Amino acid sequence: MGLLVLLPGGIGRTINFSETGVLLETDQMFRTMEPIEFDLVLEELDPERPYWMRCQGSIVRVEQATSGWRVAVDIDRYTLPSPRD
The answer as to whether 69 is a domain residue is: yes
Q: What is the pLDDT along the chain (85 residues), one digit of tens a residue?
A: 699 999 999 999 999 988 899 999 999 999 999 999 999 998 776 777 888 899 999 999 999 999 899 999 999 999 977 766 5
The answer as to whether 47 is a domain residue is: yes
The answer as to whether 84 is a domain residue is: no
CB atoms within 10 A of CB 23: 17
Instruction: Please give the tally of structural domains in the chain.
Output: 1
Name the residue range of residue 25's domain: 4-77
The answer as to whether 67 is a domain residue is: yes
> Considering only CA atoms, which of 72, 64, 68 is closest in space to residue 23?
72
The answer as to whether 83 is a domain residue is: no
Burial class (CB in 10 A: 0-12, 13-18, 19+), 18: exposed
The answer as to whether 85 is a domain residue is: no
The predicted pLDDT at position 42 comes to 86
The predicted pLDDT at position 45 comes to 64
The answer as to whether 61 is a domain residue is: yes
